[in-house]
Structure 1
Amino acid sequence: MPKITSIFLFFMTFSLSISAQEDLLMNIDGRNTISLNGTWSYIIDPYETGFYDYRYKERNENDREAYWNRPVTEKRSDRVEHGYGDKYTLQVPGDWNSQEEVFKYYEGTVWYQREFSLDELPEDKRFFLHFGAVNYEAHVYLNGKKLGSHKGGFTPFNFEIPRLLLKKEENFLVVKVDNKRHPEEIPTVNTDWWNFGGITRDVHLVTLPQNFIQQYAIHLTPGQDLETAKKRKRFDISGSIKLSGPVNDDSFVTIEIPEVRVKERFEVTGDSLAFSFRGKGIKLWSPEDPKLYEVIFSHNGEPLKDRIGFRSIKTEGKDILLNGEKIFLRGISIHEEIPQQMRRAHSKEDARQLFGYVKDLNANMVRLAHYPHNENMTKMADSLGILVWSEIPVYWTIDFENPEVLKKAKKQLSEMIIRDRNRASVIIWSVGNETPVSPVRTEFMKALIKEARELDDSRLISAALEVGNDNGVFRIDDPLGEFTDIVAVNEYLGWYGGLPGDAKTAKWEVTYNKPLFFSETGAGAKAGYHAEKETRWSEEYQEWYYREQVEMMKRMPNNYSGLSPWILTDFRSPRRNHPDFQEGWNRKGLIDNEGNRKKAFFVLKKYYEELLSEGIRDNG
């Protein structure tokens, strides 16, 4: 009888708690994990038969026809109308669109399934399922019970597994993935990139102690006198630590940076602490010298290691200052794709390929558009000294009047910032791209800016704005520019309107006394198509466009602080349907879908070389 009661109480508690997403874990690489990547079985379910019954009501938890339950036949007459097996499989991480032809344009539900076992199941540990990203809506089930759901295709999430639910053998894990677009989601129905569906990033089972370090932030203390600190080689460092739960008595957290012999001990009360200390001998991170330190956070003898760089980023009048010195951002925009294989990028090898192109271009900065990219990108940017603009997909036709949409945007913003706020490379949080000017939109975006500053006051906040053209006079006066740290604009003079030569007479007026950054500019070209420069889609037209843009950039006002042209490589987009020049590709890449550099690539590379030779270096 006591056993039955305990099980009953467990399931009562479990059923009440599954709808609440657990607080986000960070630094999964530094924890005790089991990878659940690899081969998963799948069922394509466009009618969502496995989720709804024939009256379109969500199936009962114990419904044997629910696809989250193991299909079992106990006798020959049993009817089961779903199943998982080796006949239909997908690789995780990865998008489904590139793995099977049937998925190429598919938008809808796919059920993923795999089993896993454990060598041990210690009583004193807690277990979590962590997903790097699933596009777009995920419902996660284990052994027939729902752990929770998550919306947002580019940010991480996790759920704790109740101890009584987990088994040593044959744990039956199912994830319902739905990438359909909706007007009340982030992003909304209208985008200019491929809607890759699936479990697109790593999946891990994470084993943790009963109370552990859940999140942390550590950085140079903003506002300190950097010149004095650099001379003395003593920097003020501050941050915060959040535990998974409150401590019952005196408890301590230690922070170590062994290379510079720093070891600080802080008492914890409740479930969090704010800390500060002075670090002697620390070398600042920069693109020219991307120095990273091993930092060890410990609680109750459990270490959590990370590799972290220390740097300062701020604006002063019309300049962007990195470590107190003026910097010019020689950037390029990137989509999270490997064009040669028409798929989502996700691995370290993918990041290495994309950043290899960036380095060849002589760029020192990337705009990761239009959503947070996978963690391998920001970690590799740290190690290579590439500055990063990271963005949430508040894009084009968002429902700015809907408070629920704002909540979703804030949630994605917080998930992005929590994951990457210890990456020195990330210097700009962007709250959106090309949002149409209106009072309600500006209030929506202001709320996101406020949220970003509260989550992290050590970085710049921006958004990619559009710019108006009044007979060749370009006025940058979007009211949102009053609230961002830099004024960033997208302009396509010579592609969407006019010809590249019109840049010769263009005049620029900027309302704000802030750094001016060109977050996009570009023109399309089909690689290998050659003609007179006036011929659209030719490499010569794109080359002409870039030559005129470079000359125009040289005449910019003195607050001109950088650019990130659109875009590094050709990328997939269902909006691009010219049968000869596009065929489902946005052709604005400087590199084509086979890895060939177009003529415009070398125009931009030369411009960046000239900036370096003229003394406009990475830092100073």
Structure 2
Amino acid sequence: MVQPRAEYPRPQFVRSSWQCLNGEWQFEIDAGDSGLERGLLERELSERIQVPFCPESELSGIGNTDFMPAVWYRRQVSIPAEWAGQRILLHFQAVDYDATVWVNGQELGRHRGGFTPFSVELPATLAGSEITLVVRARDDARSPKARGKQSQRYGNYGCLYTRTTGIWQTVWMEPVPPTALGRPRITPDVANSCFHLVQPLSGPRTGMTVQATLRDQEGVVCTVRCPADQDFAPQLTLPIPAERRHLWAPGAPYLYDLDIQLLEGETVIDQASSYAGLRSVTIEGQAVKINGKTIFQRLVLDQGYYPDGIMTAPSDEALRRDIELSIEAGFNGARLHQKVFEERFLYHADRLGYLVWGELPDWGCGGYGPVEDHQKPDVSYVSQWLEALERDYSHPAIVGWCALNETWQPLTDTITVLDDMTRALFLAARAFDSTRPILDASGYSHRVDASDIYDSHDYEQDPVRFASNHAGLAEGKPFVNEHNGRAISLPYRGQPYFVSEFGGIWWNSEREPGDDTTSWGYGTAPRSIEEFYQRFEGLCNVLLDNPHMFGYCYTQLTDVYQEQNGIYTFDRRVKFDMERLRSIQQRTAAIEQQA
């Protein structure tokens, strides 16, 4: 049987030696979360599953969509003998939600958070031997946690979908030397025509150097060295001569290759390959500029769900194809909604010149966001957000961050937990990344006055009323979401503004007229496909014609289960004339004409 999802899972920090552990594992559902007491750590498990697909999915071979408070995985793994003398790292790209890892009966690691990667280090003495790897994943779907769009009911409803439990991204191993490179942080500097590289290291590094070599299509651009033992994380600047300067831009993505080596004298101790894109994101008035050019962001809401894999793409090709489908419809980017996408998606976005906004899957507590009953914070939101920022910082496709979505608690005369958590997540992103704009919350409750961007969600279906909603932006009085008639946001103060959710036009050609039970969308479904085109064009025109609007995000790329308001069907079949949708969107926007 072909090994599923066998491509390298971390394409921006690649080592040549690694072992993919996807494929068949032993598996067992632990309905009472009593497996440790019942001996599941020691014995064989009763079922078989295809990792990395979650047990709810068809591709896993299980297909159980009921609640699973805990699940167990077990597998024998042979560690190559040639890895002797090196540290052995076991990587999990994502396990939902609380994971514990045992090797030969010894607990070696634990992690909380269903969307971000973690690693455990195996004893070096295990090289050349066969080990027993056991993983328990606990996932109480009804408890407050960052779950994104996963349903808390048995079935799907509204805009909430089938749950994901346990391992749902690649599991893999790699050997690293006693002193090793960590994941680099690559910062493009367009103004000074260079890249800044911060290179974490682990282990003793006395007498060692870090060397970075930048290459373009013609060959070596520059090679830079610095001592490895003078800073906790050595910092290097890689200059690019004017004649070798190529910018990464939407639709025109130029990527440099980057080789990083840890040297002792001239002996290579560790090495990895990466890549980088030279691009800038700046704000000028109400415009958001890429490389100093105003580019209207024609974004689509992408939920990243698949009929057979749920949150896991069935193949690497499926990730790339979703981007191509979006571009074919006229979009130049996406808001990756309520999910930290597989990193391979970002790799394809980098290579295809596709703009991306990164998001934390924060839905899951009372009132949405990281607050239960408006008072109890879930601090794991901050740790997961930092893990996502660390993983994805160096991808040039990402042009903005937003941790929260549709928090709606009203403003009160006291500072609330929502205020504290919104600020904490905003400041975490700002401390980690000073090169991209940050939106405190997408739509609804804006609680950080220093937010770089301001936005709203507006699903008004009548283009005339939609235009009226947004006419006040010219006077500094934009459409601002409320909740039950109460103010939930601090005032707008002139930031770049966009409608980060709109449209969602309900269209399913197979739906019987008047049938509101088998599918769902916003407003009243158009009576004909021509009415769909007219509504789509009217709504897009309102935002394209507004000279104070820097972009929009249309809901959504595909249908997702019962929510049938996508540009494509759930299985990625074409619903509309894509050339017509593309021509509607691709005309020059008003804010671009002012540039």
| TM-score (normalizing by structure 2) | 0.81
Secondary structure of the corresponding residue to residue 187 of structure 2: strand
Change (3 A) 1:31 1:416: farther
1:126 correspondence with 2:87: yes
1:525 correspondence with 2:507: yes
Residue matched to 1:451: 428
Identity of aligned residues (%): 23
Change (3 A) 1:530 1:500: farther
Equivalents in 2 of 1:425, 1:503: separation in Å?
A: 30
What 5-or-longer segments of structure 1 have no aligned partner?
A: 1-24, 54-64, 72-82, 230-234, 468-477, 573-584
Deviation at 1:213, TM superposition (A): 0.9
1:210 correspondence with 2:178: yes
Contact 1:138 1:150 (8 Å CA) reproduced? yes
Residue 480 (structure 1) aligned to one of 433, 441, 447: 447
Equivalents in 2 of 1:504, 1:322: separation in Å?
A: 27
Please show how residues 305-454 of structure 1 align to structure 2 within 5 Å: 305-339=273-307, 344-345=312-313, 347-395=315-363, 396-400=367-371, 405=377, 407-437=379-409, 438=411, 439-440=415-416, 441-454=418-431
Secondary structure of the corresponding residue to residue 552 of structure 1: helix
Paired letter, 1:290: P
Residue 170 (structure 1) aligned to one of 122, 126, 130: 130
Equivalents in 2 of 1:615, 1:159: separation in Å?
A: 49
Residue matched to 1:147: 108
Equivalents in 2 of 1:386, 1:554: separation in Å?
A: 19
Secondary structure of the corresponding residue to residue 588 of structure 2: helix
Residue matched to 2:72: 111
Instruction: Name whichever of 589-598 and 279-288 sits farther off.
Output: 589-598
1:547 correspondence with 2:537: yes
Residue matched to 2:549: 560
Residue 194 (structure 1) aligned to one of 138, 141, 162: 162
Contact 1:184 1:405 (8 Å CA) reproduced? no
Residue 288 (structure 1) aligned to one of 229, 248, 251: 251
> C-alpha offsets along residues 342-363 of structure 1, whole Å, 9 cap, x if unaligned?
5632631121221121121121
Equivalents in 2 of 1:589, 1:328: separation in Å?
A: 21
Deviation at 1:459, TM superposition (A): 1.6
Contact 1:526 1:537 (8 Å CA) reproduced? no
Change (3 A) 1:254 1:406: farther
Residue matched to 1:8: none
Please show how residues 24-39 of structure 1 align to structure 2 within 5 Å: 27=12, 29-39=14-24
Equivalents in 1 of 2:195, 2:512: separation in Å?
A: 55
Contact 1:463 1:488 (8 Å CA) reproduced? no
Change (3 A) 1:31 1:447: farther
Equivalents in 1 of 2:11, 2:432: separation in Å?
A: 15
Secondary structure of the corresponding residue to residue 519 of structure 1: strand
Deviation at 1:115, TM superposition (A): 0.9
Deviation at 1:381, TM superposition (A): 0.3
Secondary structure of the corresponding residue to residue 272 of structure 1: coil
Residue matched to 1:68: 41
Equivalents in 2 of 1:391, 1:339: separation in Å?
A: 22
Equivalents in 2 of 1:562, 1:39: separation in Å?
A: 45
Please show how residues 253-272 of structure 1 align to structure 2 within 5 Å: 253-258=210-215, 259-268=219-228, 269-272=230-233
Change (3 A) 1:399 1:593: closer
Deviation at 1:182, TM superposition (A): 4.8
Secondary structure of the corresponding residue to residue 611 of structure 1: coil
Please show how residues 569-584 of structure 1 align to structure 2 within 5 Å: 569-572=558-561
> C-alpha offsets along residues 293-325 of structure 1, whole Å, 9 cap, x if unaligned?
110111121221012211111212211111111
> C-alpha offsets along residues 137-165 of structure 1, whole Å, 9 cap, x if unaligned?
2111111111111111111110111234x
Equivalents in 2 of 1:314, 1:615: separation in Å?
A: 15
Contact 1:217 1:240 (8 Å CA) reproduced? yes
Change (3 A) 1:464 1:586: farther
1:493 correspondence with 2:453: no
Deviation at 1:609, TM superposition (A): 2.6
Contact 1:287 1:386 (8 Å CA) reproduced? yes
Equivalents in 2 of 1:30, 1:327: separation in Å?
A: 36
Deviation at 1:111, TM superposition (A): 0.8
Deviation at 1:27, TM superposition (A): 4.6
Contact 1:449 1:483 (8 Å CA) reproduced? no
Change (3 A) 1:205 1:243: same
Equivalents in 2 of 1:314, 1:92: separation in Å?
A: 41
Change (3 A) 1:403 1:208: farther
Please show how residues 500-511 of structure 1 align to structure 2 within 5 Å: 502-506=465-469, 507-508=471-472, 509-510=477-478, 511=492
Deviation at 1:254, TM superposition (A): 0.7
Change (3 A) 1:133 1:172: same
Deviation at 1:594, TM superposition (A): 3.5
Equivalents in 1 of 2:64, 2:294: separation in Å?
A: 48
| TM-score (normalizing by structure 1) | 0.78
Computed over aligned residues only, the root mean square deviation of the Cα atoms, in angstroms, reads 3.0
Paired letter, 1:354: D
Equivalents in 2 of 1:378, 1:597: separation in Å?
A: 24
Equivalents in 2 of 1:564, 1:464: separation in Å?
A: 14
Equivalents in 2 of 1:220, 1:399: separation in Å?
A: 32
Paired letter, 1:564: C
Equivalents in 2 of 1:590, 1:565: separation in Å?
A: 9
Residue 271 (structure 2) aligned to one of 303, 324, 328: 303
> C-alpha offsets along residues 497-551 of structure 1, whole Å, 9 cap, x if unaligned?
xx56532543342323221122111233324337599953766465454233123
Secondary structure of the corresponding residue to residue 314 of structure 1: strand
Equivalents in 2 of 1:124, 1:211: separation in Å?
A: 12
Change (3 A) 1:537 1:362: closer
**Between Structure 1 and Structure 2, how many residues are aligned?**
529
Deviation at 1:184, TM superposition (A): 3.8
Residue matched to 2:155: none
Paired letter, 1:236: C
Deviation at 1:267, TM superposition (A): 1.2
Equivalents in 1 of 2:569, 2:556: separation in Å?
A: 10
Secondary structure of the corresponding residue to residue 418 of structure 1: helix
Residue 89 (structure 1) aligned to one of 48, 60, 68: 48
Equivalents in 1 of 2:424, 2:64: separation in Å?
A: 37
Paired letter, 1:257: L
Deviation at 1:50, TM superposition (A): 1.2
Contact 2:305 2:311 (8 Å CA) reproduced? yes
Secondary structure of the corresponding residue to residue 551 of structure 1: helix
Instruction: Name whichever of 29-38 and 309-318 sits farther off.
Output: 29-38
> C-alpha offsets along residues 474-498 of structure 1, whole Å, 9 cap, x if unaligned?
xxxx54363222223221113xxxx
